[in-house]
């Protein structure tokens, strides 16, 4: 059934060439800003200078070194700095990791409990947050227009998602030209991540939600069409702009209103990153095809629709289902992203550990809540 929904997305998007120049107008003049960034890409591609130019004469301190798969350990240093300096605005400049990490910092600075990790596990509620703005330099996660953050903890090898409406950025600046400096591998990762985000919200069972389905299909088709163009010519502005906006729309909440969602691929993928440090998007490619094979009966309605509408396949229902799964595998592989976990040397030992962790947490996944730890074992078993 097409479910009831409430949809409100407050993020202001400033999209296109030169939009970083608008930064000054987005942040109150008297704000004390903490600018957060990652490992230094922003110094090499000119983004840092553009940001500083747009915020001349403003009160800014900086915190760098937020790593890919941002860690609680690193972020707590930023929290201490932000508290000590009494900052009242956060500006994240970088990819999804910097944005996610900054969302955690925004929630943790005003948090008065003992253990800020509880904000990630959900044991403590986010009650206040420092306002956030962002300059996105890597299309992939949708973090620029949603309220989620995925935070890792080194000490315990955990990777967990948190989310709260207070963590929506107030604004996000998306200039496709800032992404020209991305290595091919990160572009491929971004395409695969955005593609999988759509699949998590679309590849469930039909509820006659025509707008959501057709929007999801158009994002998938855009990613499929744009992938070879933007990989082949990194400075093709239009290809890059289409990719960047597709990645945002893939996870800004619009295509998931009123429909069932899966997210098992992401939950399993996060465990693979936590255990082996594999790039987020790459974990998704080693899970989704095998999940589709195992759940192909439950997902048959949507697999057939996806085969026909996204891949223009024809044939019997069985042929359409097999064809759709094969096309999905071929798409990831076309990005040079393997679809087998054994490509990363992952064996049964890791599978057993993940299954055990899900058993201990009594985790059940999927749109029908029937992907039990045992099924997770089957999916990963097929992947190794």
User: What are the residues binding ligand NZQ (CB under 6 A)?
Assistant: 38-42, 45, 68-69, 94-98, 100, 137-138, 140-143, 146, 148-150, 178-179, 181-182, 186, 189, 193, 251, 266, 280
Reference 170, options 142, 228, 227, 130; nearest CA is 130
Phi–psi pair at 60, nearest 5 degrees: -130, 135
Query: Which entry of Zn ion, ligand NZQ, none binds 96, CB below 5 to 8 A by partner kind?
Result: ligand NZQ
CA–CA separation, 22 and 246 (whole Å): 22
- Other residues' Cβ atoms within 10 Å of the Cβ of residue 145: 25
Q: How far is the CB of 312 from ligand NZQ (least distance, A)?
A: 28
**Cβ nearer to Zn ion, comparing 42 with 287:** 287
**Residue 141 CB, nearest approach to ligand NZQ (Å):** 4
Nearer to ligand NZQ among residue 192 and residue 313 (C-beta) = 192
Q: What is the footprint of Zn ion within residues 193-222 (CB under 5 A)?
A: 193
Applying CB under 5 A, does 175 fall inside the site for Zn ion?
Answer: no
Name the helix (H) or strand (E) containing 205.
none
Instruction: Classify 365 as helix, strand or coil.
Output: strand
Q: Which does 198 bind (CB under 5 to 8 A by kind): Zn ion, ligand NZQ, none?
A: none
Dist. CA 27–CA 44, nearest whole Å:
25
Subset of residues 176 to 195 that bind Zn ion, contact rule: CB under 5 A: 193
Q: Work out what residue 109 binds among Zn ion, ligand NZQ, none; the CB cut-off runs from 5 to 8 Å by kind.
A: none
Distance CA 224, CA 106 (A): 35
**Nearest CB to ligand NZQ, comparing residues 50 and 69:** 69
In DSSP terms, which residues pair with 15 in a beta bridge? 174
Write the CA distances from 307 to 224, 235, 283, integer angstroms: 13, 32, 23
User: Taking the complex as a whole, how short is the minimal distance between the CB of residue 140 and ligand NZQ, in angstroms?
Assistant: 4
Cβ 166 to ligand NZQ shortest distance, Å = 14
184-202 and 237-250 are packed helices; what angle lies between their axes, rounded to 10 degrees? Answer: 40
- 177 or 193: whose CB is closer to Zn ion? 193
Q: Give the Cβ contact number of residue 109 at 10 Å.
A: 22
Q: Which entry of Zn ion, ligand NZQ, none binds 45, CB below 5 to 8 A by partner kind?
A: ligand NZQ
CB-wise, 273 or 350, nearer to Zn ion?
273
Contacts of 25 (CB under 8 A, 6+ apart): none
Question: In angstroms, what is the minimal distance from the CB of 68 to Zn ion?
Answer: 13
- Pinpoint the alpha helices (H) of 296-347: 300-309, 317-334
Shortest distance, position 7 Cβ to ligand NZQ, whole Å: 16
Phi, psi of 139 (to 5 degrees): -75, 125
308-337 residues near Zn ion, rule: CB under 5 A: none
Residues making contact with Zn ion (CB under 5 A) = 193
């Amino acid at each position: 059934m097409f479910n009831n929904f409430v949809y409100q997305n407050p993020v202001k998007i400033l999209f296109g060439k030169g939009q970083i120049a608008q930064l000054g107008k987005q942040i109150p003049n008297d704000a004390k800003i903490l600018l957060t960034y990652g490992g230094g890409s922003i110094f090499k591609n000119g983004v840092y200078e553009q940001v500083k130019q747009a915020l001349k004469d403003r009160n800014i301190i900086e915190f760098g070194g937020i790593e890919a798969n941002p860690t609680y350990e690193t972020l707590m240093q930023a929290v201490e700095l932000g508290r000590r300096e009494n900052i009242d605005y956060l500006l994240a400049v970088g990819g999804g990791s910097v944005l996610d990490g900054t969302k955690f910092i925004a929630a943790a600075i005003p948090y008065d409990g003992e253990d800020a990790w509880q904000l990630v596990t959900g044991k403590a509620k986010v009650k206040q947050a420092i306002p956030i703005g962002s300059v996105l330099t890597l299309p992939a996660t949708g973090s620029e227009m949603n309220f989620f953050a995925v935070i890792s903890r080194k000490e315990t090898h955990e990777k967990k998602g948190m989310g709260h409406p207070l963590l929506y950025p107030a604004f996000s600046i998306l200039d496709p030209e800032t992404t020209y400096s991305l290595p091919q591998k990160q572009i491929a990762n971004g395409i695969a991540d955005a593609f999988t985000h759509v699949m998590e919200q679309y590849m469930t069972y039909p509820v006659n939600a025509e707008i959501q389905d057709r929007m999801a299909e158009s994002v998938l088709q855009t990613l499929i069409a744009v992938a070879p163009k933007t990989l082949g010519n990194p400075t093709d502005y239009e290809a890059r702009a289409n990719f960047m906006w597709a990645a945002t729309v893939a996870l800004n909440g619009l295509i998931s209103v009123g429909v069932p969602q899966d997210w098992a691929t992401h939950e399993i993928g996060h465990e693979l990153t936590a255990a082996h440090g594999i790039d987020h998007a790459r974990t998704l490619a080693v899970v989704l095809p095998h999940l589709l094979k195992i759940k192909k009966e439950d997902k048959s309605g949507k697999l057939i629709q996806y085969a026909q509408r996204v891949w223009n396949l024809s044939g019997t229902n069985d042929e359409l289902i097999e064809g759709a799964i094969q096309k999905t595998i071929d798409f990831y592989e076309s990005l040079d992203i393997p679809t087998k976990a054994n490509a990363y040397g992952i064996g049964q030992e890791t599978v057993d550990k993940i299954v055990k962790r899900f058993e201990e947490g009594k985790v059940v996944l999927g749109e029908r809540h029937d992907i039990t730890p045992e099924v997770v074992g089957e999916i990963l078993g097929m992947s190794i």
